[in-house]
Amino acid sequence: MGTRTTPLDATDHELTLGMPEETDPAPASGDQALIEDIIDKIVLVIDELSGHPLRPYQLPLARRILESLITEDSAKITALWSRQSGKSETVADTVCGAAIMLPRLARLFPDLLGKFREGLWIGVFAPTDEMSETLFSRIVGRLTSERAQELLADPDIDEKLITRGKLLRFKRCGSIIRKQTAHPKAQIEGQTYHLVVVDEAQAADEKVLNKSIAPMLSSTAGTLCLTGTPTYNKNSFYEQIQKNRREANRKGRKKDHFQVDWKEVAKHVPRYKKFVQSEMDRLGEESDEFKLSYRLIWLLDKGMLVTSDRFDALGDVSMRAVQEWHRSPVVVGIDPARKTDSTVVTVCWVGWDYPDEYGYYEHRVLNWLDLTGLDWETQYYRILDFLSHYNVFAIGIDAGGLGDVVASRLRVLMPHAQIVDLKSDRTNQTKRWAHMMDLMSKGLVIWPAHAKTRQTKAWRKFRQQMEDAELTYQGPHIIVAAPEVDAAHDDYVDSLANALYLTADMALPEVEMHNAPW
């Protein structure tokens, strides 16, 4: 390869393949600096294979896949990218670089990478055999390119690729890349992989994914990577995205969801921007096709309380969370904690002086208090201290059970405020949800969305829970609740609904208009 430099020429950790038997023992697997260095070296190989560096929005996904393989954290990584944004290219390049490098680095660092000593085993899936060909053909094209052949012939690598239909095998290091279908009628059990990639995961059969594909990673503590675009229905891909977004809010958790819409790609690829804008003109920005393919909006058949687009529309990017407000009375909603939930307090400003034609007021969320893992005696005084910074008019609390106790205690601690017991039967809950939805539809609920506020944990949890909340109708009743999955909560949603309902009886009744009979 002449004077071309490869990662195996680097000296940071003596990454040469001359005599691995004499290499010093590898540091413990927890050595993050070493892990990052190994990832850097593999990324250099990826760039060599493709002939150009990964773009800024591609690099985080590639690095996370490599990190998961190295650390054996059994991550379930999701990538929701707009059409033709380079998603398949990113995954193909990462797969190729890892298949070449990890088995070789395993000789140098047996404690950290020993499981790859006999090769990296990768399964490439899609809902149909034809769909799996898209990603697999990119992998084949990358590994059979002139650049790849030159790199594989380098004395430090000295590798030969054997292609047999749906299977790619590296003769010397033992890595394999196999194309398979995720079709429900296919018999695919029996394989073992370190990495499984499911392309077009939004169309994958849930039973096949959970029963047949995921178990292929069990004996290797492997990594599952799901890639795709939104669709009209909830599915395993959607649920995993939501789970990853929720988990990212937890302290010390890795980011496992990577979302890239057309605007992000357009920043780095001018031709892409030009084409998508022409599609916007042709299809319309609000068309289903454009929303699904480029704006990454799920058009779910099951109702949601608020979509991501609507959430953004109701956010005021010029407004930060307000830490103190005494100029006018505010309303407060409290959702008391139950077992694994948090106690959430939501403070809302009300535009008392400017009702609309029907007597409804504008409401603005000023701030949140999130109390997790505290005994109730401590919570009472944390709530009291928090609300001392506001001119509190009324506090709405779910009645029944723990809510009754909280309401009684706050009446003693805050005698100047009106404590309102909100009944929790379905009829009264329906009234609260209907009022909240009415206010949102009229644009009379606004929350802070300043860049500084969006970085806070409370804002991120508020957004996640608002977008998670499912809306269903059972007869005359409206039910809004978090999905029945791990780590899903609706404390922020309930707290906001409680605060908003305090102004419901102050609105003027709507008047029905009829033509006079004469």
Tell me the DSSP string of 231-286. Answer: -SS--HHHHHHHHHHHHTTSTTPPP-EEEE-HHHHHTT-HHHHHHHHHHHHHH-TT
> Measured at the alpha carbon of residue 54, what is the angle toward residues 51 and 55, in degrees to the nearest 5?
125
Q: Which long-range contacts (CB under 8 A, 24 or more apart) does 202-205 make?
A: 202/228, 202/229, 202/230, 202/231, 202/235, 202/237, 202/238, 203/127, 203/131, 203/228, 203/231, 203/235, 204/125, 204/126, 204/127, 204/235, 204/236, 204/237, 205/127
Q: What distance in Å separates the CA atoms of residue 348 and residue 359, rounded to the nearest whole number?
A: 17
CA pair distance 228, 240, nearest whole angstrom: 12
Indicate the DSSP class of residue 496.
H
pLDDT given at position 80: 96
* Nearest in space to 495 (alpha carbons), one of 304, 373, 346: 346
pTM above 0.95, yes or no: no
Query: Could you read off the pLDDT tens digit of each residue along the chain, which spans 518 residues?
Result: 343 333 334 333 333 333 333 343 444 445 888 999 999 999 999 999 988 899 999 999 999 999 999 999 999 999 999 999 999 999 999 999 999 999 999 999 999 999 999 999 999 999 888 888 989 999 999 999 999 999 999 888 889 999 988 999 999 899 999 999 888 877 777 789 999 999 999 988 888 888 889 999 999 999 999 999 998 777 889 989 989 998 888 877 889 999 999 999 999 999 999 999 999 999 999 998 999 999 998 887 556 788 888 899 999 999 999 999 999 999 999 998 776 568 999 999 999 999 988 889 999 999 999 998 888 888 999 999 999 999 999 999 987 777 788 899 999 999 999 999 998 889 999 999 999 999 999 999 999 999 999 999 999 999 999 988 888 888 889 989 887 766 778 999 999 999 999 999 875 444 444 453 33
Q: At what angle do helices 87-108 and 129-143 cross, to 10 degrees?
A: 60
Q: What is the spatial distance between Cα 19 and Cα 507, in angstroms, rounded to a whole number?
A: 81
Amino acid identity for residue 199 in this structure:
D
So what's the pLDDT on residue 211? 87
Q: Which domains does the chain have, with CATH numbers?
A: 7-260 (3.40.50.300), 312-505 (3.30.420.240)
Cβ contact 249:460 at 8 Å? yes
Name, in order, each residue with C-beta under 8 angstroms of 391's C-beta and a sequence gap of 6 or more: 325, 326, 327, 328, 329, 330
Please enumerate in sequence order all residues whose Cβ is within 8 A of that of 508, keeping only pairs 6 or more positions apart, or say none.
355, 358, 359
Contact 226, 79 (CB under 8 A): yes
Which tokens is 156 given?
A: 């430090």
Q: How far is CA 88 from CA 24, 131, 138, 209, 433, in A?
A: 37, 12, 7, 19, 42
CA distance 69 to 105: 13
User: What does the pLDDT read at residue 509?
Assistant: 42
CA distance 362 to 349: 8
Which two three-digit tokens encode residue 352? Answer: 């008392």
- HEC readout, 381-449: HHHHHHHCCEEEEEEEEECCCHHHHHHHHHHHHCCCCEEEEECCCHHHHHHHHHHHHHHHHCCCEEEEC
State how far the Cα of 470 lies from the Cα of 35, in Å rounded to an integer. Answer: 40
Q: What is the rounded CA–CA span in Å between residue 483 and residue 457?
A: 21
Q: Nearest 5°: phi and psi at 494?
A: -60, -45
Strands (E), 116-194: 121-126, 161-164, 167-170, 176-181
Q: How far apart are CA 504 and CA 168, in angstroms?
A: 65
Q: CB under 8 Å to 373, separation ≥6 — which residues? A: none
- DSSP category for residue 304: B
With 0-12 CB in 10 A as exposed, 13-18 as middle and 19+ as buried, what is 499?
Answer: buried
The pLDDT value recorded for residue 18 is 34
Residue 495 and residue 344: Cα distance in Å, rounded? 6
For 67, phi and psi rounded to 5 degrees?
-60, -45
Beta bridge partners of 395: 332, 419
Position 169 scores a pLDDT of 94
The per-residue DSSP string of 345-360 comes to EEEEEE-TT---TTS-
pLDDT of residue 486: 66
DSSP state of 506: G
Q: What does the alpha-carbon distance between residue 402 and residue 405 come to, in Å, rounded to a whole number?
A: 5
pLDDT at 339: 60
> Given this model, what pLDDT does residue 22 score?
35
> What is the distance between the alpha carbons of residues 224 and 196, in angstroms, rounded to a whole number?
5
Report whether 417 contacts 407 (CB < 8 A): no
- Count of all residues that appear for the chain in the document: 518
